[in-house]
Structure 1
Amino acid sequence: MNTKYINLIDQTFYFPQEEFNLKGDQLTFHDINLMQLIEKYGAPLKFTYLPKISENINKAKKWFAAAIEKHQYQGNYNYCYCTKSSHFEYVLNEVMKNEVHIETSSAFDINIVENLKKNGKITNDTYVICNGFKREEYIHNIARLINEGHQNCIPIIDNYEEVDLLSEEINKNYEIGIRIASEEEPKFEFYTSRLGIGYKDIVPFYNRDIKDNKKVTLKMLHFFINTGIRDTAYYWNELVKCLKVYVKLKKVCPSLDSLNIGGGFPVKNSLAFEYDYQYMVDEIINQINITCEKAGVEVPNVFTEFGSFTVGESGGAIYQILHQKQQNDREKWNLINSSFITTLPDTWAISKRFVMLAINRWNDEYERVLLGGLTCDSDDYYNSEQHMNAIYLPKFKKNKPLYIGFFNTGAYQESIGGYGGLQHCLIPQPKHILIDKDEEGNIVTSLFSRQQKGEDLLKILGYNE
C-alpha cells in the first residue's frame, strides 16, 4: 500500500518541482538543505532567499519584452517595486540590483527612497511613483524629494485637493499621474474603490484643474484592481474601461504618455498552482495596442507595480510540531512551536493559502491533522479552509521530531504581524535568516534578527527602563 507521505505528494501533485525536491527523505528548497538550516539555527525560524527576488523581477521583464516584440508595441516597459510588500533594506538592496523603479504609499517611504539615493542604490533617473492618500507629511516629503532634484518623482493624484496641496510646497514644475477609482468585483460590499477618481470624472478634472496649470504636467494614468491581474471577465472589462479613459484623456492631454496597470501577479500558493503569466502579459499589451490604434493615439509606456510577486516567493517559515492532541474521534491537532496569528497573520485574517509541506520524515506513514498555534485564541489555526485540501503530514511520534515549512510567505507578513513589537499572548517573534549565494554560487546564510526574549517584550511594555 502507498501509505508514506512521499507517496501522497507524488500521487497528488507533479513532484519534484522547480523549487522543491528531496534529498533522501528531507525536503530541499532551491537546493537549500532545510534540515541543515534547522540544525544550525533551530526552529521556529523565518527565512528570506534573496536570489528569488531578482529571479522574479527578470522573469516579468522577459515576459513584457517578449510581448512588446511580438505585438510590435512602440512603448517601453518599466518595472516598479511596491515597497509596502516588504520595506526591509535587504529586500530593497536586492530589488535595486535589477534596474527597476519604486512605488511608494506613505510618507516614510520617501525617507527610504532618500536613504537609497544617499547610498547610491537609486539615482534621479529612477521613477518614484507616489500612490496613496496624501496627508501633510507625505505631501511635504514628496515636495522635498522633487525640490531637491528628483524630477522622476510622480505623485499619483488620489483626490481633487492634492494638486493644490502639492503645488503649495513644490517650487518648480512637476509631473503627476491620476488614479482611476475602479469598480470592484461584484462580491465586494461596495461598488467603487475608495482610492482614486471616478472614470467619468477624470477628463473633467483634467480640464478644470490641470490643463491650464503651467506648473503641472499630466504624464500618467494609473489603473489597479484589488483582485489583481487574472484571466476573468471582470479584469478584462475593467481594463477596457481604463483604456477608453486613456484614449479620451490622451486626445485632450498630449503630455500623457504612460499607463500604470498596477500590480497583482499571483504568487504560487500550492503545488497545484497554475497561471500563464506570458499569456496575460501578451493579452494586456495586445489590448492596449488595439485600443490605441482604433482611437488613433500613440500607445503609452507601460508601468507595473509588483509587490507580492517580487518578494512573496522568497520567504518561508519553519516550525516544529510540539505535541498532538486527539480532541474527538475525527480531529487530531498538531501544535506548532509558534503562532499563525503572529507569524503568518494572513492565514488568520484572510484565509490566505501558502505552500505547506513536511520538511523531514517523507518516508513515514501519513495522517490527517489540523494545525494549531500556541496562543489561547481559537482562531490560531491552519486547516483545509486555508489549505488547498485536507492537511496530511507524517504521523506524529514523540521520539521523532517533525518539522513543517510554509513557503512563499515573503510579502506583507512581517509588517502586518508588527515586526519587532508585541505579539498576541506574548508569543516571541522567531529568528529571521537571510539566504544568499556567493560569487561561486554557494549558499550562504546569516542571522538577520534573533528570536525575541522576555526582556525585549517587557521593555516595550514599560516594565524595564
Structure 2
Amino acid sequence: MNIKYIDLIDQTFNFPQQEFKVKNNKLQFHDIDLMQLVKMYGAPLKFTYLPKISENIINAKDWFNNAIKKVNYKGNYHYCYCTKSSHFKYILDEALKNNIHIETSSAFDIDIVKSLKKSGKLSDNAYVLCNGFKRDQYIANIVSLIDGGHKNCIPIIDNYEELDLILDETSSKFNIGIRIASEEEPKFEFYTSRLGIGYKNIVNFYKKEIAQNPQVDLKMLHFFINTGIKDTAYYWNELTKCLKVYIELKKICPTLNSLNIGGGFPIKNSLAFEYDYQYMIEEIISQIKIACDEAEVDTPDIFTEFGSYTVGEAGGAIYEVLYQKKQNDREKWNMINSSFITTLPDSWAINKRFIMLPVNRWNEEYERVLLGGLTCDSDDYYNSEQHINAIYLPKYDKKKTLYIGFFNTGAYQESIGGFGGLQHCLIPNPKHILISKNENGDLTTKLFKEQQKSEEFLSILGY
C-alpha cells in the first residue's frame, strides 16, 4: 500500500507539472529550490517570481494574435494590466517590459502612471484606461493627464454625471469609453452591477450627451463580467447583449472603434486546474466577428485588462508548522507561524482556493489535517472548504520541521491585507523576496521588505 505523500499526489493528479516538481524529497517551483529559500531567508516569507508575469503576458498576446489570424479578424489586440491587483513598482516594471497598457481604478493610480511616464517605463503612446467611480481628486488627476498631452488617456464613463465633471475641468479635446452595467449571475444578491450604465440607456446617453459635443469622441465600449471569462451560458449571453449595444452604437458613432472585454482569465487554483485559454479566445473573437459582419459594421480593436492573470501565478508564501493540536478524535490542527487573515485574506474572506503543498518531507507518511493561524480569531484557518478537497500533509513530527507553501497568491493579497500597516492581532507581515533571472538565465533573489517590527506597529498606533 502506498502511504507516502508523494504517492498520494501521483495517484490523485498528473504530476509533476510545468511549475511543480519534487527533487530530493523537496518541492521546486519554477526550478526554485524552496527549502534553499527558507534556509537563506527563514519563514514565514512571501516571494514573487517575476519572470512568470512576462510569461503570462506573452502567452495571452500570442493566443489573441493567433485567434485574430485564424478567423481573419480585422482589428488589433491590446493588453492592459489592471493595477489594482498589485500596485508594487517591481510588478509594473516587469509587466511594462512587454509593451502593454494600464487600467486604473482610483485617483492615486494616476500618480503611479505619472511616475512610470517620468521614469520612461510607460510610453507616452500607451493607453491609460481610467475605470471606477470618479469624483473630485480622480477627475482632477485624469484631467491633468489629458491636459498634459496624453492622448490615449481614456476615462471610462461609469455614470451620467462623470462626463460633465470632466468637461467642467478641461477645455481639451479627449476620448472616452462607456462601461456597460452587466447583469450579474442569477446566484448574486442583486441583478445588475453597480458599475456602469445599463444596456438600454447607453445609446440614448450617447445621443444626448456626446454625439453633438465636438470636445468629446466616444472610442470604447467597456464590457466587464465580475465572474471572469468562463465558458458558461451566462458569459456568452452577456457578451451577445454587449455586441448588440456595440453594433447599435457603431452605426451612429463613427469614432467608436474599440471593445474592452474586461473580466479576467482564471488562474490555477489546484493541481487539477484545466482551462483552454486558446479555445475561449477564439470563440470570443469569432463571435465578435460574426456579429459585426452580419450587421455590416467594422470589427473593433480588442482590449483586455487582466489583473489576477498577470500577477497571481507569480506569488507564493511559505510557512512553518509550529505545532499540532489534537482537539478531538478526528481533528488535528497544524498551527502555522503566521496568520491566514493577515497574509492570505482572500482565503478567509471569500474562501478563495490557493494551491497548497508541503515544501519538504514528500517521501513520508501523510495525514489529514486542518491549518490554523496565530491570531486568536476563530476564522483564522484554512480547510477543505477553501481547498479543493481534504487537506493532507506529511505527518507532524516535532523533530522534523515541516514547511508548507501556498502558491499563485500574487494578486490582491498584499493590498487587501494592508501591506506595511496594522495587522490583526499585530501579527507581522512576513519578509518579502523578489526572484528573477539574470542575463545567463540563473535565478537571483533579492530582499524587498523585512518582516514587520513592533516599532512599526507602535508608531502607527501612536505610541
Tell me the TM-score normalised to structure 2 length. 1.00
Match of 1:223 in 2: 223
The separation in 1 between residues aligned to 2:442 and 2:22, in whole angstroms, is: 19
- Is 1:328 equivalent to 2:295 in the alignment? no
Q: Deviations over 1:64-123 (max 9, x none)?
A: 011000000000000000000000000000010000000000000000000000000112
Give the secondary structure class of the aligned counterpart of 1:299: coil
1:350-361 to 2 correspondences below 5 Å: 350-361=350-361
Give the secondary structure class of the aligned counterpart of 2:228: coil
The separation in 2 between residues aligned to 1:336 and 1:146, in whole angstroms, is: 49
The separation in 2 between residues aligned to 1:170 and 1:309, in whole angstroms, is: 35
Give the secondary structure class of the aligned counterpart of 2:445: strand
Match of 2:267 in 1: 267
The separation in 2 between residues aligned to 1:93 and 1:123, in whole angstroms, is: 12
Give the secondary structure class of the aligned counterpart of 2:405: strand
- Is 1:428 equivalent to 2:428 in the alignment? yes
Match of 1:452 in 2: 452
Match of 2:255 in 1: 255
Amino acid at match of 1:224: F
Q: Deviations over 1:182-206 (max 9, x none)?
A: 0000000000000000000000000
Match of 1:17 in 2: 17
Amino acid at match of 1:348: W
Give the secondary structure class of the aligned counterpart of 1:261: strand
The separation in 2 between residues aligned to 1:339 and 1:252, in whole angstroms, is: 55
Match of 2:83 in 1: 83
Give the secondary structure class of the aligned counterpart of 1:457: helix
The separation in 1 between residues aligned to 2:122 and 2:318, in whole angstroms, is: 34
- Is 1:46 equivalent to 2:42 in the alignment? no
Q: Deviations over 1:279-335 (max 9, x none)?
A: 000000000000000000000000000000000000000000000000000000000
Q: CA deviation at 1:414?
A: 0.2
The separation in 2 between residues aligned to 1:242 and 1:178, in whole angstroms, is: 12
Amino acid at match of 2:298: E
Match of 1:236 in 2: 236
Match of 1:195 in 2: 195
The separation in 1 between residues aligned to 2:402 and 2:291, in whole angstroms, is: 56
- Is 1:117 equivalent to 2:117 in the alignment? yes
Give the secondary structure class of the aligned counterpart of 2:21: strand
- Is 1:418 equivalent to 2:441 in the alignment? no
The separation in 2 between residues aligned to 1:186 and 1:398, in whole angstroms, is: 49
The separation in 2 between residues aligned to 1:153 and 1:460, in whole angstroms, is: 36
1:314-393 to 2 correspondences below 5 Å: 314-393=314-393
Give the secondary structure class of the aligned counterpart of 1:237: helix
Give the secondary structure class of the aligned counterpart of 1:316: strand
Q: CA deviation at 1:456?
A: 1.1
Q: CA deviation at 1:263?
A: 2.8
Q: Deviations over 1:196-229 (max 9, x none)?
A: 0000000000000000011000000000010000
Amino acid at match of 1:459: S
Give the secondary structure class of the aligned counterpart of 2:47: strand
Match of 1:155 in 2: 155
The separation in 1 between residues aligned to 2:56 and 2:263, in whole angstroms, is: 14
The separation in 2 between residues aligned to 1:122 and 1:82, in whole angstroms, is: 14
Give the secondary structure class of the aligned counterpart of 2:64: helix
Match of 2:174 in 1: 174
The separation in 2 between residues aligned to 1:48 and 1:165, in whole angstroms, is: 39
- Supply the RMSD in Å over aligned alpha carbons: 0.4
The separation in 1 between residues aligned to 2:256 and 2:448, in whole angstroms, is: 44
The separation in 2 between residues aligned to 1:457 and 1:101, in whole angstroms, is: 36
Amino acid at match of 1:330: R
The separation in 2 between residues aligned to 1:133 and 1:404, in whole angstroms, is: 40
- Is 1:100 equivalent to 2:103 in the alignment? no
Q: CA deviation at 1:365?
A: 0.2
Between the two proteins, the alignment pairs up a number of residues equal to: 463
Amino acid at match of 1:114: K
Give the secondary structure class of the aligned counterpart of 1:252: coil
Give the secondary structure class of the aligned counterpart of 1:321: strand
Amino acid at match of 2:242: C
The separation in 1 between residues aligned to 2:437 and 2:177, in whole angstroms, is: 39
- Is 1:276 equivalent to 2:279 in the alignment? no
Match of 1:72 in 2: 72
Q: CA deviation at 1:454?
A: 1.0
Tell me the TM-score normalised to structure 1 length. 0.99
The separation in 1 between residues aligned to 2:47 and 2:333, in whole angstroms, is: 25
8 A Cα contact 2:367 2:394, kept in partner: yes
Give the secondary structure class of the aligned counterpart of 1:384: coil
Amino acid at match of 2:257: D
Amino acid at match of 2:422: L
Q: Deviations over 1:414-448 (max 9, x none)?
A: 00000000100000110000000000000000000
Q: CA deviation at 1:138?
A: 0.2
Amino acid at match of 2:154: I
Amino acid at match of 2:167: S
The separation in 2 between residues aligned to 1:263 and 1:201, in whole angstroms, is: 22
Amino acid at match of 1:327: Q
Q: CA deviation at 1:171?
A: 2.5
Give the secondary structure class of the aligned counterpart of 2:375: coil
The separation in 2 between residues aligned to 1:141 and 1:230, in whole angstroms, is: 34
The separation in 2 between residues aligned to 1:196 and 1:362, in whole angstroms, is: 50
Q: CA deviation at 1:124?
A: 1.6
Give the secondary structure class of the aligned counterpart of 2:418: coil
Give the secondary structure class of the aligned counterpart of 1:289: helix
Amino acid at match of 2:65: A
Amino acid at match of 1:129: L
Q: CA deviation at 1:170?
A: 2.1
Q: CA deviation at 1:264?
A: 1.4
8 A Cα contact 2:226 2:263, kept in partner: no
- Is 1:62 equivalent to 2:62 in the alignment? yes
The separation in 1 between residues aligned to 2:402 and 2:11, in whole angstroms, is: 22
Match of 1:141 in 2: 141
